[in-house]
């Protein structure tokens, strides 16, 4: 590839980046990988795979918008399963759910590495910068998954549904649903991601004695409810929250308060959805004298 003049870190006369814009789903990314190999673009040095909701138009790059094809996605998925195995595919999926701006390109570089060296365990090669980035990203996603499973707070509604709001750093709903599906099979429950505008719902009436119901995706919930879920709290929920907040206030020992350690174990960004962290009327009167 010839370059004429270097100026401000750009090569004047250099071929502009080729950007493939895919629908922001895992199937959309898989379809983009298929497109790359179908059109023999895999060796293009400046190739980028960018999610539609992460793309920023540029005057110096050529972009092609792709559509998702389930058949193509399945063919790529089958190939990658053979190359990377179940564990490797989980790492790719978790990396994708991080929603990092350039994750589509990073994952493609790993896929190309695996295809070029099918006998090599590429995901163990931490000397490869893209593999290293994926490993670090997966650790971050796993940490967020663990925290969501620990910090989700359900609130009982007048419709007999236990409802929880979350705003995770990463798109972890697809990988935390099974945790709650196995543990709360005897309840109707829903978890809604406010940042991404969708949620998961478990309808216990669809379960059988041998198998819990499948999770359903929910969207377009009433904004008023999302902003103020207390408006649909059942009487039991209101009473439980008062009891829990009172207990939390009373067991607190002011002299042993360690805010720094507390924030380390429970980051403050989760607090607004924890009932024990809400202001309790007349809380001062509930504090035991010590």
User: In the chain, what are the domain boundaries?
Assistant: 5-140, 152-231, 234-290
Quick: pLDDT tens for 22-74: 999 999 999 999 999 999 999 998 999 999 999 988 777 779 999 999 999 99
The most confident of the ranges 4-18, 218-232, 269-283 is 218-232
The mean-pLDDT minimum among 66-75, 97-106, 207-216 falls in 207-216
For 114-135, what is each residue's pLDDT tens digit?
999 999 999 999 999 999 999 9
Residue 284: pLDDT above 50? no
How far apart are the C-alpha atoms of 106 and 194, rounded to whole Å?
Answer: 27
The rounded distance, in Å, linking the Cα atoms of 224 and 234 is 16
Q: Are 50 and 56 in contact (CB under 8 A)?
A: no
Mean pLDDT of 228-248: 83
Q: What is the pTM of this model?
A: 0.82
What is the per-residue pLDDT across 155-211, written as a single tens digit (0 to 9) for each? 999 999 999 999 999 999 999 999 999 999 999 999 999 999 999 999 999 998 888
Question: Residue 248: its pLDDT value, please?
Answer: 73
Q: Where do the H-state alpha helices sit in 233-272?
A: 235-251, 259-265
Return the pLDDT at 16: 66
**d(Cα 283, Cα 281) in Å, to the nearest integer?**
5
How much is the pLDDT for 3? Answer: 39
Distance CA 166, CA 267 (A): 13
Whole-angstrom distance, CA of residue 287 vs CA of residue 214? 44
Reply yes or no on whether the pLDDT at 82 is more than 70.
yes
- pLDDT of res. 15: 54
DSSP-derived 3-state class of residue 12: strand
Query: Which among 172, 17, 39, 12 is positioned nearest to 105, based on CA atoms?
Result: 17
Q: For residues 163 and 154, what is the distance between their CA atoms, to the nearest angstrom? A: 5
> Look-up: residue for tokens 């379960």?
207
Q: Which of 22, 38, 33 is nearest to 112 (CA)?
A: 33
The token duo for 109 is 């570089």
Tokens of 185: 């099979």
| Contact yes or no for 193/173 (Cβ under 8 A) | yes
Q: Kindly state the percentage of the chain with pLDDT values over 90.
A: 64
Whether the per-residue pLDDT at 106 is higher than 70: the answer is: yes
pLDDT confidence tier of residue 289, bands split at 50, 70 and 90:
very low
């Amino acid at each position: 590839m010839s370059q004429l003049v270097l100026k401000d870190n750009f090569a004047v006369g250099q071929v502009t980046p080729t950007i493939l814009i895919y629908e922001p789903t895992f199937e959309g990314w898989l379809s983009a990988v298929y497109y790359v190999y179908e059109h023999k673009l895999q060796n293009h040095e400046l190739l980028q795979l960018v999610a539609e909701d992460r793309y920023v138009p540029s005057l110096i790059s050529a972009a092609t918008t792709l559509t998702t094809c389930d058949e193509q996605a399945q063919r790529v998925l089958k190939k990658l399963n053979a190359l990377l195995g179940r564990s490797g595919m989980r790492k790719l999926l978790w990396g994708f759910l991080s929603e990092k701006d350039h994750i589509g390109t990073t994952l493609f570089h790993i896929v190309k590495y695996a295809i070029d060296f099918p006998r090599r365990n590429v995901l163990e090669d931490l000397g490869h910068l893209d593999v290293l980035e994926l490993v670090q990203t997966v650790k971050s996603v796993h940490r967020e998954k663990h925290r969501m499973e620990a910090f989700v707070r359900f609130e009982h509604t007048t419709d007999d549904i236990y409802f929880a709001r979350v705003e995770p750093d990463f798109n972890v709903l697809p990988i935390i649903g099974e945790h709650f599906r196995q543990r709360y099979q005897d309840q109707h429950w829903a978890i809604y991601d406010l940042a991404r505008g969708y949620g998961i719902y478990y309808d216990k009436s669809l379960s059988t004695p041998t198998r819990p119901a499948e999770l359903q995706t929910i969207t377009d919930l009433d904004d008023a409810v999302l902003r103020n879920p207390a408006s649909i709290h059942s009487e039991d929920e209101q009473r439980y929250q008062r009891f829990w907040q009172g207990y939390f206030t009373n067991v607190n020992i002011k002299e042993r308060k360690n805010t720094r350690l507390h924030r380390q174990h429970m980051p403050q960004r989760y607090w607004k959805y924890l009932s024990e962290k809400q202001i309790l009327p007349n809380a001062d009167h509930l504090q035991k004298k010590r």
